[in-house]
Amino acid sequence: MVLLKGEPKPQTAARRQAPVRELDLERYRARYGLQAVLLSNLAIAGVAIFGVWRLDGDKSVIIGVLTAAFTAVSSMTTAYLGIKAVSNTAQAMAQSAPSRDQTPPTPPLAKSLTTPAQ
């Protein structure tokens, strides 16, 4: 492509995109956070299934593997949902809070602790 003198350069796709809005950013965080938790849970379940398959029927060890896998999956899911709930609550409180642009009232002058000499 030949540019003439004084002709502006064409913008790349990255420059043409609008900035990410706050709502879109929250959607991305929620979507990819949930995907990370789901993929981690699937990985834990896959390792547990592979471990049970390789143990060839040793009941006590299978119970231990399944218990550990269940604990890991439930802990990770609970942590994600708890953090997400707290984040949503904090964001809602911040949006509904009154603006902090007002200056605080000045305190009254402190009285002297010493008494005047008589």
**Which of 46, 40, 27 is CA-nearest to residue 79?**
40
21: left (phi over 0), alpha (psi -120 to 50) or beta: beta
Distance CA 65, CA 53 (A): 11
Using the Cα atoms of residue 28, residue 30, residue 31 and residue 35 in order, give the sign of their dihedral.
positive
Which residue, chain included where needed, has tokens 């010493």?
114
pLDDT 10s per residue in the chain (118 long)? 555 666 666 665 555 566 668 778 888 888 999 999 999 999 999 999 998 888 887 888 889 999 999 999 999 999 999 999 998 888 888 888 766 666 666 777 766 566 666 5
